[in-house]
Amino acid sequence: MAETFIQAPAGKLVLAQADSAGNLKVSVTGAGSGGTSSVDEAAFTPGESAGTPAMGAVNPSDTPANGVLAIVALDSARNMKVNIAAGSITVTPPSATTIPNTGLSAIATASVQLLAANSSRVRMILQNVGTTNIYVLEDATGSGSASATNFTYILRAGGSSKDGSSPIILDTVWKGRVVVCGSASGGLVNWTEETA
């Protein structure tokens, strides 16, 4: 039986070898022990595990027929191109609001209107940044007055002026008139009103 030699680097001839089934033995380099194939759902370690790389073409001009294998299309930055069919996605933008109207109001013991009724109001934020309690009345009558005996809730005083320690009231429901008064002079309320 004739022997088969293969030319190796540097011009040397080496004897070709076969396994027990007669297959020619070869050494695969540069793609791991198993080529580029991988087992489905096998554990993968970045930088270590072998895998099958994806192939794409930049700005391909051909249109493959149905049922054939094809590589993905890429742009010049290697981003995969995606075609969204018309009418398949509905995007609803969030409701637009105007620039919030804000203020810092000094509050004495007499009842005063802090905010007028506003049907377009979507959010109201109140915080007591003073050192006296503030009585808040959500006035449905349009002519009511806030007092220590007529109020919807109390904005508790902070430890010191503008220290941010008092609770914040965020109301997304009430659209009517808001009137306030202080338990003593020197009250201070920071407010924000957002409208649709």
| CATH code assigned at 148 | 2.60.120.770
Q: Look at phi and psi of residue 171 and say left if phi exceeds 0, alpha if psi is from -120 to 50, else beta.
A: beta
Please check whether residue 73 lies inside any domain of the structure: no
pLDDT for the residue 190: 96
Domain count, the chain: 1
How far apart CA 56 and CA 74 sit, in angstroms, is: 6
Top-confidence residue, 73 or 129: 129
Please check whether residue 176 lies inside any domain of the structure: yes
Please check whether residue 125 lies inside any domain of the structure: yes
Confidence of residue 83 (pLDDT cuts 50, 70, 90): confident
pLDDT for the residue 87: 64
Please check whether residue 164 lies inside any domain of the structure: yes
- Give the containing element (helix H, strand E) for 168: strand 168-171
For residue 119, the enclosing domain spans 101-195
Indicate the pTM of the whole model. Answer: 0.52
How far apart CA 193 and CA 168 sit, in angstroms, is: 13
What radius of gyration do the chain's Cα atoms show? 38
Please check whether residue 188 lies inside any domain of the structure: yes
